[in-house]
Each structure stands twice: as structure tokens, then as C-alpha cells.
Structure 1
Amino acid sequence: MSCGARKMIKFSHKYLENDYLLREEIINNPKASLFAKLIDSTLLKQNATEQQIENLCLEAIKCHFRAVCIPPFYVEKAFSKLQNTDVRLATVVGFPLGYNTLETKVSEVVNLVSLHVDEIDFVQNVSLVKNNNFKQLEKEFKSIVEASKGSLVKVILETALLTDEEIYKCAMLAALSGIHVIKTSTGFASRGASINDIEIIKKALTQYQNETGIFVGIKASGGIRNYHDALSLVKSGATRLGTSGGFEIVNEKVNHTSY
């Protein structure tokens, strides 16, 4: 893409331009080492220990991953490890089921922003989708964006629980509501990201970009265990990868964990 064409793109958040450009580079020159800056290195297991979180942060610093995504309980510890590095700090809200009250979710976001997180990955209320209550879902989306105070916001759709039509509608509504990245999965459902999920989200966001000129990112997460999986998802449209296998991906090995 020419510089002139790129200048016409408006990014929903300033940090998405790097994701966009790196994806373009990977498509043109698919080297495993390039994936590091698209990876949110993730540890969200219930039994995660302090030492594991510390190791995750140290590995992310060494590999220059885009971010670490960790439980809220460990945010303060991770912040102390990541401060003055190029690794961003992400955490989760309403995780993993998403059916917290809106007030609870907003309170979580406000608290986490005060703890210096860079990125918020929140689980949408799938019950609202199944009840066809997209008006209330829009309120949830907009309220969380407002509470984030400029932090990058990703919505986790939990695509395993949705029809193709619901994935499309949720992705479009999220973009219209000011959310910066559409994410597929928590890693706690029956499956993680699929190529089909990414293609549907990409279709919705392409329509949104055609209508508004605004680029919204896509995060594939759950079940990404090797370089070939990662490349396929990026080629389909993903601009971020949520995985516990970041080290294996950039070294073209295989990760055998469940996320």
C-alpha cells in the first residue's frame, strides 16, 4: 500500500497503526520473527502463580512481544516488571463469562485504568446477543469505551457461542460504538479462534471502514499453537494474536497448552 493510501486511513486508536503496518509486512514477507510485535503473550489460567507471571513478563521483554495479557490480580506486579520497556500491559474485564452487570464491568475498568493498564480486553454479555437486545449491548460497549479513558479497548465476542450472523452484527456494533479491536475468544469456551471467525469479523470491519474510513483491529485468540496457525489467521485479517505460545510461534515450534 502506498504512503498516500495509508494516510487516508484513520485508526480507531493510535496504537493500531503499528499493528496494521506489521500485518502488511508479514503478508509480503512471512518471517516467524516478525510475529513478535503482533503477539499478546497470555496467561489467564485460574491457578497462575506469581512466578509464572514474572516469567511471562521477562519472556515478553526478551522477545519484544506487543503485550502481556494477565489476570487483574497481577496487574500491579506486571506493571513493575514492564515499566520502561516496549511491552504493553493488558488485562481482562468480565472474564471469562461476560455476564457481570454493566456497573460491575465499568467499575472494573475504572479500577484497572487507575493501575496503569494500557489495554482492556472485556467479554461481551453474550446473553444480550442471544436475547437480541443489541440496544443494551451498545450501551455496554459505549460505557466501557468511555470508562477506559483512552486505553485501547478490545471486546471478546466468544465466537464459539455465536452464529455467523451474530458474529457479524457484534463486530459491526462494536466498531460503531468506538471499540478499537474485535477479539474472538476467551480460551475458556469449546474452541478458540477459527479462520471463519476472522473472515466474518473482517467482512464487517471492511464494510465499516468503507463507510467511515476508520480501521478497527482484529485479535485472534485461543488455540494458536504454532507459526502456521498464526500465519493463516494473520492472512485472514488478524492484527493481533492472543496466545500462550508466543515463544514457539516466533521460533517455529509447537505449543501444547490449552490457550
Structure 2
Amino acid sequence: MSATENPTVESIAALIDHAILKPELTDAEVESDLDLAGRWGVFSVCVRPSDVPRSVARLAGTGVATGTVIGFPHGSTSTAAKTAESRRALEDGAAELDMVLHIGRLRSGDLAAVTDDIAAVVAVAEGRIVKVILETAFLTDEQVVAGSKAAEAAGASFVKTSTGFAGGGATLHHLRLMRDAVSPAVRVKASGGVRGLDTLLQMRAVGVDRFGTSATETILTDVQRLAETGSTSGATDASSY
């Protein structure tokens, strides 16, 4: 993988969904983060649903896509609420949807309900990318595998580790489980705790295709430093996402 073997700012930025999801963010703070994403040329931003119109307008012409979250962060809203939220997000200009599956139903073993819930959002998306957040910190290995397989059965484009708000983030162990559980047609997104280039490269090497992080500037500054000096700073971002 070229991004792993010879990372450049462009190749790593193309893997990043810059997360702008903290509930306390002000309008000015959201706009500052959107501008940061535009400057670095990341693949996309992942914003709160109410910020989708602002993001689409502010990032127009930058090539940075706008994504948003559905059923976030708990996943326990009804399927009807998730589909309504999805429709509105798409009407507002969202290009991708990161939905939280029903964690309690997955832990209960009700895979039919979990699959149907995901499939309903996939249907509303009409071919747009849907990423399914498992919230791996709450799951056994068997549940991680089952949730990943349910996401693929429902037609999702990605399986994703975490919201970043559950006290645990992406781990190499869970990422390997997810990658092995789904076919090559389904991609894997790591989120929660991706705060430096070394971590990102380790995860990329086990098959991760996209990264949700608020530490974009730290990571991409590390790429620049690596090119200049051959080493990274090891700095971390204090964000939970």
C-alpha cells in the first residue's frame, strides 16, 4: 500500500474523514475545523447533522466531501427515525452517512433486527456510501464479527469501529476481526483514538481504508516531519474522537 510504504500528505489526507462531532462546538469552532479540512485536502469531514448545510457551503470548491452521522452516538433510535434523519441529511447535501447500528439488539443476538435497521438506511441512501458503526468497545469478538457480517448483508459500504464517545476506540485486534469478517467489497473505517501517524500506518497495514479523527493536523504535520527528518514527533491529540 503506497500510503503505508511511502506516506505523503496527499496520500494520507485522502484516507481521512475529519471529525467535527463534539456536541459543545460553537459555530465558529465548526467553521474553523471546516477550514482546516479544506486546507489539508482531506477526503471528507464528518459533521453533526445540523451542520451539514454549513459544511457543504463552506467546503464548496475544495473537493472535500461532507458526511454526517445517523443515530449517533447510541444507535438506539428507531429505524423510522434513522431513515428520516438520513433523508434530511441527504437533502441537505451529505455525501456519506455514518450510522450507529442498534448496539443493544446486536448484543441481544437479534441479527435480523440489526440487519433490517441497516438495510433501511442503505435503501434511503440510494447508492451513497453508508458506514456502519459497531461500537466495538461494547462488543465481544463474536459480536464484532456478527455485526460486521450483518452490515455487509444489509448492503453497507463500510464497517466502522467506534463513535469515539464510548470510552474505547479502534484497536488492531478489532480491525483485523472486522477485515476478516467481510468480503473485499466492504471497506473498514477506524475511528476513536487515531491520533498520530504511527497509529494510522499500523492500522492501514491491516487493511483499514478510512480513518475518522479530529487529530488531522497532528497526523499530517507528522507526515511532513517524516519527510523532512525521517521521524515523527509522537505528539497526540487530546480529543476523544
Q: Same fold (TM over 0.5)?
A: yes
**Equivalence for 1:123:** 100
Q: Could you tell me which residue of structure 2 aligns to residue 159 of structure 1?
A: 136
The residue matched to 1:60 in structure 2 has which SS? Answer: helix
Contact in 2 for aligned 1:157/1:167 (Cα 8 Å): yes
Alignment partner, residue 248 of structure 1:
218
| 8 A contact 1:32–1:249 mirrored in 2 | no
Q: In structure 2, what is the Cα distance between the partners aligned to 1:137 and 1:254? A: 35
Give the Cα separation in 1 of the matches to 2:188 and 2:9: 19
Equivalent residue letter for 1:197:
H
In structure 2, the residue matched to 1:34 is 11
* 1:258 aligned onto 2:240: yes
Q: Of 32, 38, 42, which aligns to 1:55?
A: 32
What pairs up with 1:6-85 in 2 under 5 angstroms? Answer: 24-31=1-8, 34-85=11-62
User: After superposition, what is the alpha-carbon deviation per residue over 1:154-186, rounded to whole angstroms, capped at 9, x for unaligned?
Assistant: 010000001111111111121121100111000
- How far 1:256 moved relative to its partner? 2.2
**Quick one: which amino acid aligns to residue 186 of structure 2?**
V
Q: Offset of 1:33 from its aligned partner?
A: 5.1
- Structure 1: segments with no counterpart, 5+ residues: 1-23, 210-214
Preserved contact between residue 33 and residue 251 of structure 1 (Cα < 8 Å) = no
Aligned residues: 229
The answer to whether the 8 A contact 2:10-2:41 is kept is: no
Q: Report the alpha carbon displacement of residue 31 of structure 1 after superposing the two structures with TM.
A: 4.2
Amino acid at match of 2:240: S
User: Could you tell me which residue of structure 2 aligns to residue 104 of structure 1?
Assistant: 81
- Residue 197 (structure 1) aligned to one of 134, 155, 174: 174
Does structure 2 conserve the Cα–Cα contact (< 8 Å) formed by 1:42 and 1:242? yes
Structure 1 SS opposite 2:189: strand
Whichever residue aligns with residue 105 of structure 1, its letter is K
**Aligned residue runs from structure 1 range 224-243, under 5 A:** 224-243=194-213
TM-score normalised by structure 1 residue count: 0.85
Cα distance in 1, alignment partners of residues 61 and 53 from structure 2 = 14
Q: 1:28: how far off?
A: 3.1
Q: Secondary structure at the match of 1:142?
A: helix
Q: State, as a whole percentage, how many aligned pairs show the same letter.
A: 31
Alignment deviations for residues 172-209 of structure 1 (CA, whole Å, 9 cap, x no partner):
1211211001110000112110001100001112xx34
User: How far has the Cα of 1:42 moved from its partner?
Assistant: 0.5
1:185 alignment partner AA: S
Alignment correspondent of 1:178: 155
Match of 2:192 among 203, 211, 222: 222
Contact 1:34 1:250 in 2 (8 A): no
Q: What CA RMSD, in Å, does the superposition of the two structures yield over aligned residues?
A: 1.2
Q: Distance in 2 between matches of 1:144 and 1:257?
A: 29
